[in-house]
Amino acid sequence: MGETEFPNYWFVIIPDKKLEKTFKKENEWKEFLKSSGISEKDIFSVWVVFDQFKNYSILPWYNPDKNIYPLDTNNSLEKK
């Protein structure tokens, strides 16, 4: 199949680096991930994240029931 081309369709958000980057082509997005050393296992689907937050008020990086909070200055996901 060919590439999907939509303005700003492919994007990367890296909060601890204060980085938000958009791509018009999937291959550019994949090349950025590869060159940045980002593994596919570290990628979240925006719709899965949206549904989790809408239904349960949790995010992969924020779940008070499991003591998971946004990154602190020590880059730890666990709240101390």
Same domain, 56 and 80: yes
pLDDT digits (tens, 9 = 90+) for 28-51: 999 999 999 998 788 888 888 899
Range of the domain at 20: 1-43
Do 37 and 48 share a structural domain?
A: no
Q: What is the pLDDT of residues 46-69, one digit of tens each?
A: 888 899 899 988 888 788 888 888
Specify whether 24 is located in the same domain as 13: yes
Same domain, 54 and 34: no
How much is the pTM? 0.57
Give the Cα-Cα-Cα angle 56, 44, 71 (nearest 5 degrees): 75
Q: Which residues does residue 11 pair with via DSSP β-bridges, in sequence order?
A: 22
Cα–Cα distance measured from residue 34 to residue 70, given in angstroms and rounded to the nearest whole number: 25
On whether the CB atoms of residues 51 and 68 are closer than 8 A, the answer is no
| Number of independent structural domains in the chain | 2
Shared domain check, 24 and 6? yes
